[in-house]
Amino acid sequence: MDRIPILRIGDLLLVTVQVDMHDRLALALQDDLCLAICSRDTRGVLIDISALDVVDSFIGRVLADTSAMASILNAQVVVVGMRPAVAITLVELGMTLPHVTMALNVERGMDFLRNHNRSLDAPSESAGTLVPA
Amino acid sequence: MSPHDEPLVIPVATEMDITLVRQAVRQHATRLGFSLVDMTKLVTASSELARNAVKYGGGGSATLQVVRQGGRNGLTVTFEDSGPGILDVDAALRDGFTSGNGMGLGLGGARRLVNDFQLHTMVGVGTRVVVTRWL
């Protein structure tokens, strides 16, 4: 069966969807991404959908589920490149993808992930400060 | 497909066929001169309805037909299956209703994405959904 390739750049994964995905291909990508996230230290996943001219409720759900799965596996998904016509259609369809992080393009998505990772690496302020005795 | 062309019938039996329906609707909508947004809406609605026919109707067909009314062109797509039919149509059109494992956006969502939407269903006989988007 066809597979969507997953590229690794350090602790980031990059997926560029360039074909009109049938349902099983989308589910295979979901599985492959989860496995790839766990195979090595992975902090972020960029999914570029700029080539997709249609995102229906099934693909939308796969994006939302993948994002949730990655989050449980401690990786942040950013979906980038959604076309305006796709966004308009998704909202009319009733699918607003509230829990999926979006960015305009790959570059913005990379920026987001870098900042996100930096804030994760920084000592948490809310955790309080240890005062030496 | 010109306005005089024969309707194009696409069998919809497996989820792979959903992609074929999307391709055919995309092609015809582009050729008719639909705007990008209108085309995206019709292709997306067709994708939802084709999936319904596969998942709930046990397969069927999608028929594409160029239509003309009052000097404007449109594209009508008819989805037919001989599945179990829909018991409660009002409920099926409501967002969030699903008898499967989907989001329950298919039927109601598809209706919002087209200009004309007709649903004929008979329990034990099957379901026919006819959608049209006008240029």
Out of 3.40.50.2000, 3.30.420.40, 3.40.50.300, 3.30.750.24, the CATH code matching A6-108 is 3.30.750.24
Task: Assess contact for B21 and B62: CB atoms under 8 A.
Answer: yes
For chain B positions 31-90, those within 8 Å of chain A (CB to CB) are 36-37, 39-41, 43-44, 47-48, 51
Using a 10 angstrom Cβ sphere, with 0-12 exposed, 13-18 middle and 19 or more buried, the burial of residue A128 is exposed
pLDDT at B64 over 60: yes
pTM: 0.89
Q: DSSP assignment of B94-113, as one string?
A: STT--SSSS-S-HHHHHHHH
In the structure, what pLDDT confidence band is assigned to residue B97 with cuts at 50, 70 and 90?
low
d(CA B123, CA B134): 31
* pLDDT given at position B68: 94
Domain residue limits, chain B: 8-134
What is the complex's ipTM, to 2 decimals?
0.88
For chain A positions 95-114, those within 8 Å of chain B (CB to CB) are 95
Domain residue limits, chain A: 6-108
For residue A75, report the phi and psi dihedrals to the nearest 5 degrees: -130, 145
Q: What is the mean pLDDT of residues A32-48?
A: 96
In the structure, what pLDDT confidence band is assigned to residue A132 with cuts at 50, 70 and 90?
low
**Helix or strand or coil: residue A28?**
helix
The 8-class DSSP code of residue A19 comes to S
**What pLDDT digit, counting tens, does each position of A1-11 carry?**
689 999 999 99
* Segment among A101-115, B62-76, B98-112 with least mean pLDDT: B98-112
d(CA A18, CA A41): 26
- Assess if CATH 3.30.565.10 describes domain B8-134: yes
**What pLDDT digit, counting tens, does each position of A41-99 carry?**
999 999 999 999 999 999 999 999 999 999 999 999 999 999 999 999 999 999 999 99
Task: Assess contact for A63 and A15: CB atoms under 8 A.
Answer: no
- Shortest alpha-carbon distance between residue A56 and chain B (Å): 5
The residue among B105, B111, B114 with the most chain A CBs within 10 A of its CB, best to mutate, is B105
* Segment among A115-124, B21-30, B115-124 with least mean pLDDT: A115-124
pLDDT at B95 over 90: no
Residues of A with Cβ-Cβ distance to B113 under 8 angstroms: 89, 92-93
* pLDDT given at position B24: 97
- State CA A80 to chain mean position distance: 8
Distances in whole angstroms, Cα of residue A99 to Cα of each of A11, A61, B96: 22, 11, 17
For chain A positions 36-75, those within 8 Å of chain B (CB to CB) are 53-58, 60-61
* pLDDT given at position B6: 85
